[in-house]
């Protein structure tokens, strides 16, 4: 018996993976972050499973419950929002499980960055515009390593996906302007992506703070910034991927001469 760490996806209970759902349905003990994981998903656990909410628990208590359950021969599902590898705080849980000699497996999930991109109808990697997405956050109570300050990361002018930053927009805007981003750089913000009360805001760097305020967005939001978010791309003929270009030869198709 082991602990299965499951990515629940961004909110919509149907956005868990098939494998994740199966593990959830088979678990004897389920522990989940109650503020962020949809209760509708947890309701799919098997009847009679013991359900724990972890939001009010300290690390030792949380992992203690998991260890005890596994030692009693029970299977444990630890459900995290989005994908567990992004700001999931799973590392300290894994370290304690390992110390106790308990095995674990991680089942990935749909991170909120992808749910937000889907909500905005965006491709984050647009040919000849940017082929890179930087997943990061701005410095709040958790200090950022010196070499990862937003203004330095932004120097690449790639797409930026900002987690945990909705209350720090002023800083986001200042750092990006400092990095040389123009005020009219497109920004998309999605609060509670894939939940029934999802809010989508399309704006620019200059209007970001004001527009977020106008929509009352202070938490649970993904900020996607960069020219890949330009809504005008949907109506333009430029930036076509070579993959579907008929003159381009690749592994699955021979190109034709024009
Ligand atoms: N592991 C999660 C991230 C946890 S950190 C994941 O992969 O998505 C929590 C942050 O994630 C929030 O501050 C917010 O920036 C983002 N987030 C999580 N769920 C979200 C959702 N449904 N919509 C928008 N942002 C979300």
pLDDT exceeds cutoff 80 at 31: yes
Which residue owns the Cα nearest ligand 1 atom 24? 221
Please state, in angstroms and rounded to a whole number, the distance separating the CA atoms of residues 166 and 214. 13
pLDDT tens digits along 196-232 = 999 999 999 999 999 999 999 999 999 999 999 999 9
Q: Tell me, letter by letter, the H, E, C secondary structure of 194-240.
A: CCCCCEEEEEECCCHHHHHHHCCCCCCEEEEECHHHCHHHHHCCCCC
CATH of 112-235, one of 3.50.50.60, 3.30.950.10, 3.10.129.10, 3.30.1110.20: 3.30.950.10
Atom of ligand 1 nearest to the CA of 109: 7
What pLDDT is recorded for position 236?
A: 80
* b/e 165-180 (16+ beta carbons within 10 angstroms → b): bbebbeebbebbbebe
**pLDDT of res. 243:** 64
Q: Where are the domains of the chain?
A: 3-107, 112-235
pLDDT at 35: 81
Could you report the per-residue pLDDT of 147-165, keeping only the tens digit for each? 999 999 999 999 999 999 9
pTM: 0.93
Task: Supply the mean pLDDT for the chain.
Answer: 93
- Report the range of poorest mean pLDDT among 39-48, 65-74, 216-225, 237-246: 237-246
Q: What is the largest CA-CA distance in the chain?
A: 69
Q: How large is the average pLDDT for residues 85-107? A: 96
Burial of residue 58 (CB within 10 Å: 0-12, 13-18, 19+) is: exposed
How many angstroms separate the alpha carbon of residue 145 from the centre of ligand 1?
21
Atom of ligand 1 nearest to the CA of 162: 15
CA 250 → CA 58, 89, 132, 244, 253, distances in Å?
Answer: 52, 41, 21, 10, 5
Ligand 1 mean position, distance from CA 88 (Å):
10
For residue 70 and ligand 1, the question of a CB distance below 6 A is answered with no
Q: Which CATH architecture has domain 3-107?
A: 3-Layer(aba) Sandwich (3.40)
Residue 231 CB partners (closer than 8 Å, separation 6+):
186, 202
């Amino acid at each position: 018996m082991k602990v299965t760490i499951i990515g629940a996806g961004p909110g919509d209970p149907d956005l868990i993976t098939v494998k994740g759902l199966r593990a959830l349905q088979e678990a004897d003990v389920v522990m989940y972050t109650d503020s962020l994981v949809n209760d509708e998903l947890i309701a799919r656990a098997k009847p009679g499973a013991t359900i724990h909410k972890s939001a009010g628990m300290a690390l030792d208590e949380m992992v203690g419950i998991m260890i005890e359950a596994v030692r009693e021969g029970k299977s444990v599902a630890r459900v995290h929002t989005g994908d567990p590898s992004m700001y999931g705080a799973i590392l300290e849980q894994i370290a304690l499980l390992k110390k106790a000699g308990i095995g674990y497996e991680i089942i990935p999930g749909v991170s909120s960055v992808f749910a937000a991109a889907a909500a905005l109808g965006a491709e984050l990697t647009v040919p000849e515009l940017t082929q890179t997405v930087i997943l990061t956050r701005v410095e709040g109570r958790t200090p950022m390593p010196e070499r990862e300050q937003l203004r330095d990361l932004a120097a690449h002018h790639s797409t930026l996906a900002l987690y945990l930053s909705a209350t720090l927009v002023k800083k986001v805007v200042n750092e990006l302007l400092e990095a040389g981003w123009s005020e009219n750089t497109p920004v998309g913000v999605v609060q509670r992506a894939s939940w029934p009360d999802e809010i989508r805001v399309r704006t620019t760097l200059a209007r970001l703070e004001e527009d977020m305020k106008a929509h009352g967005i202070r938490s649970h939001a993904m900020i996607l910034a960069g020219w890949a978010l330009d809504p005008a791309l949907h109506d333009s003929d430029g930036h076509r991927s070579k993959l579907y270009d008929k003159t381009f030869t690749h592994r699955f198709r021979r190109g034709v001469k024009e």
